Amino acid sequence: GESVGLHLPTLSVQEGDNSIINCAYSNSASDYFIWYKQESGKGPQFIIDIRSNMDKRQGQRVTVLLNKTVKHLSLQIAATQPGDSAVYFCAEKTEKLTFGTGTRLTIIP
Amino acid sequence: DAGVTQSPTHLIKTRGQHVTLRCSPISGHKSVSWYQQVLGQGPQFIFQYYEKEERGRGNFPDRFSARQFPNYSSELNVNALLLGDSALYLCASSLKGELNTGELFFGEGSRLTVL
């Protein structure tokens, strides 16, 4: 069956450094991927999305890379700030939206 | 502008009881989706409604039901509560009716504890 998984459940990064959060998916029919950020006590917040006909998309301080050959997705956050501390989820869309387990990102001051 | 609002924010029920959770989407949004988020996991899709019709259903038992009202607000109902129903229930609204596409705007959730 389809699944979305993350390589690392936790990630600690020094403030100002770049963060890379990885995600693997198994359904080759997925055509749309989204990254969400969820802070403690809040609902997930949309960060950036990418369609399967693209391999890279950039936003403000964030970049998503999609490698369809190995079914891998990554979120890069540049110059991390304390406010970036949160749980990050990747989600894939087929006939429904399927979220991964999440990676907890901690920014070390 | 108000975002997605959910009520209640927290509630405690006992096994076998029934619960109703409420959601008001962002003004102008016609689609509402419900997700269950168990502690330590990602959200799992329960239902989507668009223009008051069910557009999608996740792998949840019939104890879970929902509806959407003419003003596009929505209710999620869960009957015969089980301990495993303890979770954060998230509502998300979007402009588009196509299942789960477009930018989803999530509320802060209703945390249900079943004792």
pLDDT tens string, chain B, 115 residues long: the values are: 679 999 999 999 999 999 999 999 999 999 999 999 998 889 999 999 998 999 889 999 999 999 999 999 999 999 999 999 999 999 999 887 665 556 789 999 999 999 9
Contact present, A79 and A64 (Cβ < 8 Å): no
Nearest to A68 by CA among A101, A109, A8, A25: A25
Cβ of B41 within 8 Å of Cβ of A49? The answer is no
Q: What is the 3-state secondary structure (H, E, C) of B59-112?
A: CCCCCEEEEECCCCCEEEEECCCCHHHCEEEEEEEECCCCCCCCCCEECCCEEE
Alpha-carbon distance of B71 to B27, in angstroms, equals 9
Question: Above 70 in pLDDT, residue A58?
Answer: yes
Chain B: closest CA distance from residue A25 (Å):
14
pLDDT recorded at residue B67:
96
Q: B interface mutation test: which of A45, A97, A99, A101 has the most B CBs within 10 A?
A: A97
* pLDDT band (50, 70, 90) for residue A33: very high
Angle at B9 between CA B8 and CA B11, to 5 degrees: 70
Alpha-carbon distance of B115 to B82, in angstroms, equals 8
Q: Is the peptide bond prior to B70 cis by the omega test (within 30 degrees of 0)? A: no
Alpha-carbon distance of A17 to A6, in angstroms, equals 21
Q: A interface mutation test: which of B6, B46, B101 has the most A CBs within 10 A?
A: B101
Cβ of A99 within 8 Å of Cβ of B99? The answer is no
- % of chain B beyond a pLDDT of 70: 94
pLDDT of A1-27, one tens digit each?
A: 334 554 458 999 999 999 999 999 888
Amino acid sitting at position B84: G
Q: Is B90 on the interface with A (CB under 8 A)?
A: yes
Q: How far is CA A59 from CA A22, A49, A68, A78, B88, in A?
A: 17, 9, 20, 10, 29
The SS3 of residue B53 is strand
Alpha-carbon distance of B83 to B14, in angstroms, equals 8
pLDDT recorded at residue A13:
95
Partner-chain residue, chosen from B4, B99, B105, that has the shortest CB–CB distance to A96: B99
Q: Is B97 on the interface with A (CB under 8 A)?
A: no
Contacts of B44 in chain A (CB under 8 A): 99
Question: Above 90 in pLDDT, residue A86?
Answer: yes
pLDDT recorded at residue A6:
47
The one-character DSSP state at B24 is E
Cβ of A96 within 8 Å of Cβ of B100? The answer is yes
Alpha-carbon distance of B5 to B22, in angstroms, equals 8
